[in-house]
Amino acid sequence: MKGTWRRDVILLSRRRDRIMVGVLTGSAVLAVGVLVIIVGYVLWQGLPVLTPTFLLEAPEKMGRAGGIFPTIVGTVVLTAGAVLVAAPLGVATAIYLAEYAHQGRTVALIRFGTESLAGIPSIIFGVFGFLFFVIYLDMGWSILSGALTLAGMILPTIIRTAEEAMLAVPREYREVSYSLGGSRWQTITRVVLPNALPGILTGIMLGVGRSVGETAAVIFTAGASLRVPHSLFDPVRTMSVHFYLLAREGISMRNAYGTAAVLVLSVLAVNFVAYYLMHRHLARLRGAGR
């Protein structure tokens, strides 16, 4: 037996190991590199444009001059509206699917449905939102139509990620809660949700990102008005739509990049703040005192 164990096989395996480390590291560097280049380029082009006036004043001449204040307002209200509708609904649905529904064929079908829905191009949601909210329900191009359409668009992602996060909470935590006399709802609110929070938040943040970045569905449902809205029934233009129109119509590449820089920075900021708050909350929850 002794002679059959070959040293060169081990050496070959080791070389393969080294090669794979190189390939994998290379992939990671490439992926992050592309991201850094895109974001870096946008900021490099856009940051010089950013001044208090640019942020706080209304556009003039269709955006050729002036600032982007109304589009910042538009982005914030539309995204906030979409998340306020989709997050509670999505998390509630996920709770139902993960904790209450009988895990049979129906649930599998719903799961498959939400997964498919998450992959549908946003323009389809836009056209649906236009036909249903804007025309049929006569909401017109408005914050309401836009927010509801975006909510429908991000809902599947929120449901799927929240459900996965809840299913990943160890069964033994639930058992302990029940064994101490906890009810189902107590077990969900005190054990399942706190432990699923990071996953749930990730789904919501993906939704925020998609809402902020959406153009097609927004143009169809919220319009492209450059005025600051005064009610939920007013149309708005988001930064993404503004960027798209400025670039597409050749109005001002300079201001387009300025808008893009604000977009990128605000998405980063929202993510950062959300995860910071979550970690602080979890640290407090899990015990971090003396």
Partner 1 sequence: MVNGKVVVSQLNLAYRGRPALRDITLVFPEKAITAIIGPSGCGKSTLLRTINRMNDLIPGVEIRGQVLLDGEDVYGGTILLEELRRRVGMVFQRPNPFPLSVFDNVAYGPRVHGIRDRTLLADIVERCLRAVGLWDNLRDRLRRPALELPLGQQQQLCLARVLAVEPEVILLDEPCSALDPISTLRIEQLMQELKERYTIIIVTHNMQQAARASDLTAFILDGELVEWAPTEILFTSPRDPRTEAYITGRRLPVPH
Q: For binding to partner 1 (CB under 8 A), which residues are involved?
A: 170, 172-183, 186, 190-191, 195, 285-290
**Residue 210 CB neighbours (<10 A):** 18
DSSP 52-90: HHHHHS-EEGGGTEE--HHHHHHHHHHHHHHHHHHHHHH
Nearer to partner 1, 174 or 254 (CB): 174
DSSP classification of residue 3: G
Least CB distance from residue 198 to partner 1, whole Å?
A: 12
Phi, psi of 251 (to 5 degrees): -75, -50
Least CB distance from residue 91 to partner 1, whole Å?
A: 20
Nearer to partner 1, 194 or 209 (CB): 194
Nearer to partner 1, 52 or 287 (CB): 287
Nearer to partner 1, 6 or 290 (CB): 290
Residue closest to 126 by CA, chosen among 233, 237, 245, 220? 220
**Residue 173 CB neighbours (<10 A):** 15
- Residue 240 CA to residue 71 CA, distance in Å, equals 8
Least CB distance from residue 31 to partner 1, whole Å?
A: 32
Residue matched to tokens 């269709």: 62
Nearer to partner 1, 119 or 289 (CB): 289
Least CB distance from residue 286 to partner 1, whole Å?
A: 5
Least CB distance from residue 100 to partner 1, whole Å?
A: 13
Q: Which two three-digit tokens encode residue 278? A: 């979550």
Least CB distance from residue 178 to partner 1, whole Å?
A: 7
Nearer to partner 1, 195 or 215 (CB): 195
- Long-range pairs of 31-34 with CB within 8 A, sequence gap ≥ 24: none
